[in-house]
């Protein structure tokens, strides 16, 4: 059985999330371009689980993270156009379709913001390494970045059962 196809207009909260995530991507790129001439020619490009630097590379690598964040952002931004094609853990009916679709769309928008924010947080030490502010990352940060998306997905999944 196929899920009902509904035309889902963005609600105010969804518009705000999209706007905020778009603005954050823009600020991310601005920060990278602004700081590019202030960072050394060789920068940390990888950290181990403890947050210690374990690999270095040319400063041009600073553009990889915002590029990847932008690709993921665009994929998720445009991927929300067809919520009827998503996989749901509950049966979608005409009665619950709008609530389930809205919940799924909100989850993807929150995840999108979280992913962009995570990329930016990881790049902050690299952007300010020349100023001597950061020498290494806290290993807790990596754990937090890994756990937060799991909590977001768990929250919206449990919400999907409740609103069914």
E strand map for 4-153: 42-47, 53-58
Q: Which helix (H) or strand (E) holds 92?
A: none
pLDDT exceeds 90 at position 106? yes
Confidence of residue 130 (pLDDT cuts 50, 70, 90): low
E strand map for the chain: 42-47, 53-58
pLDDT, residue 131, reads 58
pLDDT exceeds 90 at position 51? no
> What does pTM read for this prediction?
0.87
- CA–CA separation, 77 and 123 (whole Å): 22
Confidence of residue 146 (pLDDT cuts 50, 70, 90): confident
- CA–CA separation, 29 and 23 (whole Å): 10
């Amino acid at each position: 059985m196929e899920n009902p196809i509904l035309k889902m207009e963005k609600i105010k909260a969804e518009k705000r999330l999209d706007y905020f995530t778009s603005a954050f991507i823009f600020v991310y790129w601005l920060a990278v371009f602004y700081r590019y001439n202030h960072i050394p020619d060789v920068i940390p490009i990888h950290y181990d689980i403890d947050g210690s630097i374990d690999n270095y590379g040319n400063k041009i690598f600073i553009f990889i993270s915002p590029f990847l964040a932008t690709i993921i952002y665009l994929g998720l931004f445009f991927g929300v156009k067809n919520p009827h094609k998503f996989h749901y853990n509950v049966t979608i009916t005409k009665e619950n379709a709008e609530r389930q679709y809205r919940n799924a769309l909100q989850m993807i928008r929150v995840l999108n913001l979280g992913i962009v924010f995570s990329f930016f947080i990881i790049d902050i030490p690299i952007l300010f390494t020349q100023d001597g502010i950061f020498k290494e990352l806290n290993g807790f940060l990596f754990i937090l970045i890994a756990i937060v998306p799991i909590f977001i997905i768990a929250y919206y999944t449990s919400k999907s059962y409740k609103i069914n």
